[in-house]
Amino acid sequence: MLQLEGIDNIVLEHRSREHIENRVRAGVIEYGIANLIADVGAGARMRKEGLVHHGIELRFDHQSHRIPLSDLADGRPITVYGQQEVVKDLVMLRLDQEAPLLFESEVTAIGDLTTDRPFVDVSGVDGAFRIRCDIVAGCDGTFGAANRAIPKDLMRRFERTFPFSWLGILAEAPPATEELIYGRHENGFALYSLRSPTLSRLYLGVRPDETLAQWPDDRIWEELTVRLATEEKPEINQGRIIDRGITAMRSIVIEPMRYGRLLLAGDAAHIVPPTGAKGMNLALADVRVLSQALLTFLRGGDDSLLEAYSASCLERVWRAEEFSNYMTQMLHPSYEDEFENGIQLARLRQAVSSRESSTVLARNYVDLNSL
């Protein structure tokens, strides 16, 4: 966005191009965020290959319930398109613009943040160097260089860990469903998602100490089948598993999202549990607000939007945390607490039977970051 407006900028990426383009992540893009991607000129392939979905299914008590997302959210759909595909498209756009994008460049220090000429120290493939600039956008992780540059007493970290992880697989199997299925079963959570007519993406909730070695292919398919079964649709399609991983689940919020000339965006400021697929949407929404703030500041010296950046983002960030927590807690049965399980089922029944509740769910699912 800065590049389009003629503002000089350098993107520093810690990892290799190969790594970021191939790391499989979530794949649900909100309505407003898909428009944002298209508006900056990175949407051509997403519009062509992305799958436009108008609903999701919630499965519990061995029954399926459809939430008609678009009907409940002013006609707006979601786009199912892998996050690493968005990354590839953004990299291509950047290269087309002939704008600096340095891979395998580690940020070793960020400093002078309370002056008007901060610096970023970089150690890259061609050695070490220092960049002096007007503004630093910290778009790394919650334990990255941007966080380390903020004095501990000026930053609050809110954190929650969940007693389960997700085992995710990508399989060469035609999806046996047209829409995403979020399933809650006594054995645990299951999610049936997809990437294309020939590629399925599936997830299982597992205990946090479990490893991939404990989950041979047969066990994965068996458990997915059990957890997603209904009387009418008992089967899922199996195929060769081409990617697998286990992801821990947690929520983190950093307040404020600014320290002097350092502005945090995306994972540097917050982590959401994956249920609801808000991570990338939230990050791109931060960047939309940040780019406007930077343009007003760098063009005319007006810092009012920069001053407002943290507070205006955090309101939306906490809403996304709330929604991701709601989805997570409703769909992951407790292995110890039967009372909690009763509450989860009550929430699910309400989500599918009350129009008010399904409308809130649909609107948050489809477009939380642009509401």
- Choosing from 31, 81, 182, 309, the catalytic residue is 182
Q: Please give the Cα distance from 179 to 256 (Å, whole number).
A: 38
Among 26, 120, 137, 283, binds ligand DHB (CB under 6 A): 26
Rounded Cα–Cα distance for residues 302 and 292 (Å) = 11
Catalytic residue (one of 278, 309, 332, 333): 278
Tell me: does residue 274 bind ligand DHB (CB under 6 A). Answer: yes
- Determine, following the binding rule CB under 6 A, whether residue 200 of this chain makes contact with ligand DHB: no
175 catalytic? Reply is no
CB of residue 42 vs ligand DHB: minimum separation in angstroms?
19
Applying CB under 6 A, does 324 fall inside the site for ligand DHB?
no
Does 33 help bind ligand DHB (rule: CB under 6 A)? no
3 contacts 91 by C-beta, under 8 angstroms: no
> Any contact of residue 180 with ligand DHB (CB under 6 A)?
yes
H or E segment and range at residue 360 = helix 355-367
Among 113, 276, 285, 368, binds ligand DHB (CB under 6 A): 276
Q: How far is the CB of 177 from ligand DHB (least distance, A)?
A: 12
With respect to ligand DHB, which residue has the nearer C-beta, 27 or 50? 27
Q: What is the C-alpha separation between 335 and 324, in angstroms, rounded? A: 20
Distance CA 20, CA 12 (A): 13
Residue in 2, 12, 28, 37 binding ligand DHB, rule: CB under 6 A: 28
Active site residue 88: no
Q: Is 275 in the site for ligand DHB (CB under 6 A)?
A: yes
43 binds ligand DHB (CB under 6 A): no
Q: Is 278 a catalytic residue?
A: yes
Stretch that binds ligand DHB, among 25-33, 100-108, 235-243, 292-300 (CB under 6 A): 25-33
d(CA 90, CA 145): 23
What is the number of residues in the chain? Answer: 371
* CA distance linking residue 139 with residue 12, whole number of Å: 10
Give the DSSP H or E segment for 90: helix 83-96
Helix (H) or strand (E) holding 13: none
Q: Which residues contact 254 (CB under 8 A, 6 or more apart)?
A: 142, 147, 155, 156, 157, 158, 264, 268, 269, 270
End-to-end CA gap in the chain: 21
Residues assigned a catalytic role: 53, 182, 274, 278, 365
Give contact residues for ligand DHB (rule: CB under 6 A). 26-28, 180, 191, 193, 201, 274-277
